[in-house]
Structure 1
Amino acid sequence: MEYGTIERSIYVDAAPEIVFEVVSKPEHVKRWWPDEAVYPVEPGGSGHIAFGSDSASCASGPGVKVEQFTVVDVRPPRSFSFRWNHAEGEPAAPGNSYLVEFDLMPQGDGTLLRMTESGFRDRGWGEALAEQNYRDHENGWDHFLPRLSPYVASLHVTP
């Protein structure tokens, strides 16, 4: 197996403008993906996301996993991309981070959201480590992406 790219598509019953806000703005992202999200929504904007944190100001502690996060591209309401998992203090680039791209397409009264994550092979890892990271991320997206639609529904917006 290649372990190069993870692709997922989901339908969200909301307009692309709303879905774009939910996949790009930290205050929304932390409601369906990480427990904490701190970054400016602008190309080159850097910050972090954290898993296992129960406080918006807690980026460390037992069980907390902090990941560096850099916005690559912002094109409302059609696409949002970022790199993550690079070393702190190191600029995000191919070879040291994963690239996640969200593409949003109007479909009926809602939005078809396509998520692509790549960069597993670019890290220079051997087969076993590439497969392990690929599987971990694959399982992660299978857990977190289905949380997006219910969160959007909880916003009480209409498409």
Structure 2
Amino acid sequence: MAKEKTRFVYVTYVLSTPEKVFEAITKPEIARRYWGHENVSDWQPGSEWQHVRADAERTVQLIGKVVEVTPPSRLVITWANASQTADPDSHSRVTFDIAEYDDMVRLTVTHDELEAGSGMEQGITKGWPLVLSSLKSYLETGRAIDVFAKPKAA
């Protein structure tokens, strides 16, 4: 029996240009500043992409394939934990839709084909808002949010 699938959608508005938002997602030297990871690929349809920790160990945490690239308006990739790439059921898909909206950008991230109730679903529902808030802060102010900061216990 096939497992139930779900999706997560996050929309934010960024005072920037579509080109800068697209570059922030696809250029490793920019992504490391707000994400603490680098998205590494040649960004051609069918190519592999890797989500690499931007530290001394350079651990590959996520792996996927580039499905669609239409700079600077759309990027679609598959997404799986590096340890689960052999399991097709663990793969999901992320779509970045980048659109001009007045004098800013509307960035819509849709993470779908997620196994409902999985660790991946739980992780991304917390992770995407933090990462995308950090991207927004970085592009608007030059200062990112520490995405690895843990809230202090009350």
* Matching residue within 128, 137, 141 for 1:150: 137
* CA–CA distance in structure 1, aligned partners of residues 62 and 42 of structure 2: 15
1:77 to 72, 75, 79: 72
TM-score by length of 1: 0.73
**5+ residue gaps, structure 1:** 122-126
Instruction: Show the 5 A alignment for 1:95-134.
Output: 95-121=89-115, 130-134=117-121
Answer yes or no: is the 8 Å Cα contact 2:28–2:40 preserved in 1: yes
Structure 2 unmatched runs, 5+:
143-154
**Which residue pairs with 2:146 in the alignment?**
none
* Paired position in structure 1 for 2:25: 23
Q: Shift in Å at residue 9 of structure 1?
A: 0.4
Q: d(CA) in 2 for partners of 1:6 and 1:68?
A: 19
| Higher fraction of strand | 2
- More deviation in 95-104 or 33-42? 33-42
Deviation at 1:76, TM superposition (A): 1.1
Contact conserved, 1:16 with 1:106, CA < 8 A, in 2?
yes
Partner of 1:124: none
Task: Show the counterpart of 2:63.
Answer: 68
Moved over 3 A (4+): 86-91, 93-96
Which residue number corresponds to residue 135 of structure 1? Answer: 122
CA-CA distance at 1:139 after TM superposition:
0.4
Which deviations, in whole Å up to 9, do the C-alpha atoms of 1:65-111 show, x marking residues without a partner? 622132111101210111121557968x9634110101011111110
Give how far 1:41 is off: 1.5
Give the conservation status (yes or no) of the 8 Å contact 2:18–2:99.
Answer: yes
Pick one of 5, 8, 12 that aligns with 2:7. Answer: 5
Distance 2:8 2:109 in 1: 8
Normalised to the residue count of structure 2, the TM-score between the two structures is 0.75
Percent of residue pairs bearing the same amino acid type: 27
Cα shift at 1:4: 0.5
| Separation of aligned partners in 2, 1:8 and 1:106 | 16
Q: Which amino acid aligns with 1:59?
A: R
